[in-house]
Every structure is written in C-alpha cells, then in structure tokens.
C-alpha cells in the first residue's frame, strides 16, 4: 500500500475537481469538432509546467478536418531519469452534442453533491483529469522514475477516431518502441478493467425495383416490398439464430453477451424533405443500413455469409428480386490477455484501493483501443477509468468526485508497477 502517494492524491481533490470543470467548459462537441484547439492548448499548458514535452498533431485530411474545425490532438511526453518502459494514458477530448433534457447548462461544469455535472463529465473528461492528477502525484513522489510517461488528448473518438487515435497510430505514436503500455481512462466503473470489445460489421443492403406510375404498380417493381421480404426473412431466420449465439467474453451488460444486429436505417422511395404532396411513383430503390455486433467466437466471413445467404435465397425464391450489398465498416473483436502487464498492474491497483479483485469486462461497442491494436500492433492496452458507463451521452451526465480520486489512486499504482515494479519484467 502506497500511503504517501494516496495521501497526495486525496489532498488534491479540489484541484482534480477544478481541472474537470475546466475541461468541461471547452464545448468540444463532435460533430462538428468544436473547440478542439483551445482544449488541447489548455492540456498542453498544464503539462508543460510539469516538464512534459508537448506536441500538437493535426489529423490532416481526416473526416471533418478543416481550418474551421481542425482535428488537433495533443501528445505530451515526460522522459524519466533512466531508460525504461513507456506508459501512455490516452483520453478523447471530444463529446457528443448535449441534446435535450438537461436541467442545467451542460458546459458550465456544476459541482454539487460530490459530483461534477456536464457534457463529457463521465465520458471522459473526468477520466482525463484523474489520469493527469495521478501522473502528477506519481512524478512528485518518484522524481527519479525510469522510462517515460505520455498523456494524450485525442479527437473524434465519438465519430470513429480517424482524425485522432487512428491518425496518431498511423504515425507511429502507438507502437513499440515508443510506447509499451496504454491505459484509456474511459468510464468503465472504477473497479472494472475493460479488456476489449465485440466486433462490428456495418453494411448497406440495397434492393432494386423498377419505377412506374403509382396508379399502375403492376407495370413497375416495388423495391420497398422487396426490402420488406428481406426484413421478414431476417425476423424469421436471422434474429432467432443470433439470439442463440453466446460468448465466453465477459461482455456487460448481459444482453450483449449474444450476437446482436441493429437495423440502423431504411430509406426507400421519395424523400419527404419537400413541402406539398408526393407524386405517385413506384420506388426503384430501397436501402437498409445494418449494424451487426459479433463475438470472438465468430468469424467475420461467416457473419457476412449469414446475411448474404438469406439474400441469395430470396434471389432464387422471389421473382424479380435483386440486391447489392456493400461494406461500410468492419472491426474485429478484441480481448487483451488477463496476464498482460497493464492488466496485472491495474488489477493490483484495484486490489490496493478497493480491497477486492477487479471485475474484467468487455465493451458491447468499440472504442479507440481498436486502432491501437490494429494499426499500432500494440496489445498491452485496456480501458480503465472512473464514471458509470450508463451515464455517458445522457442528459445531466455526471462523474463522482470520490470515484475520480479512487481511480486516480488505481492509475498511480498501476503506473508505478509498470515503470518500477514487477510488471516491468513481463
């Protein structure tokens, strides 16, 4: 137990709260990618005072990047006294739009009842603040530490991370030998370690028809009715089959321990973004966006074949049925090994702070860890941070101040173990 380090973090509770409030006050809404530069500059300014080298890396040409909305990331690095491993804390600075239903200003950062309220409080400016305070406390206690510490504030996680972690990973920021261990302080509850996520396959299915006057639909071919047949086949054959598939991955919540598919959108016929009455037409095209989440036990080619087999069967059995399918995005499932050094180090922190073993979880949806694994080829990575995942993206989002303090202690212990302790040998 590291009483001195813990006491330092406890003594900085008002500083940790103030830092969280400051971060919330940058309305880093994505889309469009508002206030990224001032937020990144604020983080850089703070870390420079502690001796960090700071670098702004703009995701040039990535989706949404423009001079009005530059995709500006901040990467800060502090070299230790002697060579060693590098531990990197990565937080996204973007937040989703506030939406409706707030009982307060979402970007004021109100402190009340031991909580900080605001858009991004939980997802994930509270986690970013906790990691900064954890690192600063560690540096104060162990000024002669070996290796290096990095802290990044990255953009666009909420929209796929292409201008953020993916861009940095392409430039080598998330690969060995620069970095060895990565902790992403996403809100996963303070006593849980998130090892990875399920896989994703997004695709667009289009059914084809033939346009004709709506008073004589028999002269045309209705693409929307063909899509109805697709939906029926999915209801009858696909959804029940997905229900049966269970994973050994510790996904939370429980419902996500199965394969799932969301029908994200259906578009067919004339769009209704006009005033007046529609004209009578038989639609010649209908498209559906599907969002299939799959398990470590599933192969992506089989996942795709389940859908295309149904479409091929319709093509055989239903007259004039024709379709096209195109991939929009795919991400393979990911699960960091429980024996990995970063998992062991943070687990040790959870045991010291909470006097119990951590819970290991898998996220139902993906986050930036995917880019670190796939592009950076770095697998010693987890998500660990304060905040209740269910509060993310909701009105009156908040983070518990005690939760941030406890998580900061866990991160500081994990950092110490990775840089100086047993985990370094692994």
Is 94 catalytic? The answer is yes
Give me the least distance between CB of 383 and Zn ion, in Å please.
Answer: 9
Is the peptide bond between 253 and the residue preceding it cis, with omega within 30 degrees of 0? yes
- Around Cβ 213, how many Cβ atoms within 10 Å? 12
Tell me the residue nearest to Zn ion as measured from the CB. Answer: 123
End-to-end CA distance of the chain: 21
Binding residues with Zn ion: total (CB under 5 A): 3
Is residue 261 a contact residue for Zn ion (CB under 5 A)?
A: no
Give me the least distance between CB of 177 and Zn ion, in Å please.
Answer: 28
The token duo for 371 is: 């880019």
CB of 421 closer than 8 Å to CB of 382: no
Q: Could you tell me which stretch among 123-131, 250-258, 307-315, 338-346 binds Zn ion (CB under 5 A)? A: 123-131
| CB within 8 Å of 27: residues ≥ 6 apart | 34, 35, 95, 107, 119
CB of 119 closer than 8 Å to CB of 107: yes
C-alpha distances out from residue 248 to 302, 304, 417, Å? 18, 21, 29
Give me the least distance between CB of 186 and Zn ion, in Å please.
Answer: 5
User: Measured from the CB atom, is 138 or 384 closer to Zn ion?
Assistant: 384
Residue showing tokens 């953020």: 164
**Vertex 193 angle, CA 191 and 350, to 5°:** 40
Q: Could you tell me which stretch among 9-17, 124-132, 245-253, 265-273 binds Zn ion (CB under 5 A)? A: 124-132
Q: DSSP H helical segments within 258-299, as ranges?
A: none
Is residue 156 a contact residue for Zn ion (CB under 5 A)?
A: no
User: Measured from the CB atom, is 197 or 292 closer to Zn ion?
Assistant: 197
Give me the least distance between CB of 124 and Zn ion, in Å please.
Answer: 5
User: Measured from the CB atom, is 225 or 393 closer to Zn ion?
Assistant: 393
Is 157 catalytic? The answer is yes
Give me the least distance between CB of 94 and Zn ion, in Å please.
Answer: 9
**Residues linked to residue 53 through DSSP beta bridges, in sequence order:** 77
Is residue 123 a contact residue for Zn ion (CB under 5 A)?
A: yes
Interface mask (CB under 5 A) for Zn ion, residues 177-196, using x and -? ---------x----------
Candidates 43, 44, 124, 168: give the one binding Zn ion (CB under 5 A).
124
Q: Give the residue numbers annotated as catalytic, written as ranges.
A: 94, 157
The residues that touch Zn ion, with contacts defined as CB under 5 A, are: 123-124, 186
């Amino acid at each position: 137990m590291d009483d001195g380090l813990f006491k330092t973090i406890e003594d900085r509770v008002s500083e940790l709260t103030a830092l969280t409030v400051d971060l919330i006050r940058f309305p880093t809404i994505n889309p469009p990618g508002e206030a990224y530069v001032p937020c990144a500059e604020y983080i850089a300014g703070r870390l420079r005072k502690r001796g960090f080298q700071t670098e702004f890396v703009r995701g040039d040409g990535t989706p949404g990047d423009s001079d009005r909305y530059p995709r500006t990331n901040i990467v800060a690095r502090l070299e230790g006294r002697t060579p060693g491993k590098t531990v990197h804390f990565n937080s996204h600075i973007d937040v989703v739009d506030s939406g409706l239903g707030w009982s307060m200003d979402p970007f004021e950062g109100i402190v009340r009842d031991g909580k900080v309220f605001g858009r991004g409080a939980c997802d994930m400016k509270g986690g970013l603040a906790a990691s900064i305070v954890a690192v600063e406390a560690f540096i104060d206690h162990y000024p002669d530490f070996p290796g290096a510490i990095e802290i990044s504030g990255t953009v666009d996680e909420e929209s796929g991370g292409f201008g953020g972690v993916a861009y940095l990973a392409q430039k080598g920021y998330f690969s060995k030998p620069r970095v060895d261990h990565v902790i992403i302080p996403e809100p996963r509850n303070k006593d849980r370690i998130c090892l990875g996520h399920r896989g994703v396959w997004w695709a667009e299915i289009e059914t084809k028809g033939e346009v004709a006057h709506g008073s004589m639909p028999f002269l045309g071919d209705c693409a929307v009715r063909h899509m109805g047949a697709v939906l029926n086949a999915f209801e009858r054959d696909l959804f029940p089959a997905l229900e049966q598939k269970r994973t050994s991955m510790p996904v939370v919540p429980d419902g996500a321990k199965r394969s799932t598919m969301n029908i994200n959108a259906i578009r067919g016929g004339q769009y209704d973004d006009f005033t007046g009455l529609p004209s009578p037409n038989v639609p010649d095209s209908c498209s559906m966006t599907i969002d299939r989440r799959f398990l470590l036990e599933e192969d992506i080619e089989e996942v795709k074949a389940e859908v295309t087999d149904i479409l091929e069967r319709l093509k055989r059995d239903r007259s004039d049925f024709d379709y096209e399918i195109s991939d929009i995005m795919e991400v393979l499932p990911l699960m960091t090994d429980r024996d990995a050094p970063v998992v062991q180090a943070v687990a040790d922190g959870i045991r010291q702070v909470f006097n119990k073993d951590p819970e290991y979880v898998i996220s139902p949806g993906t986050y930036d860890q995917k880019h670190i694994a796939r592009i950076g080829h770095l697998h010693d990575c987890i998500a660990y941070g304060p905040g209740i995942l269910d509060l993310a993206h909701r009105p009156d989002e908040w983070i518990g101040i005690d939760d941030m303090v406890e998580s900061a202690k866990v991160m500081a212990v994990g950092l110490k173990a990775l840089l100086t302790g047993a985990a370094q040998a692994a």
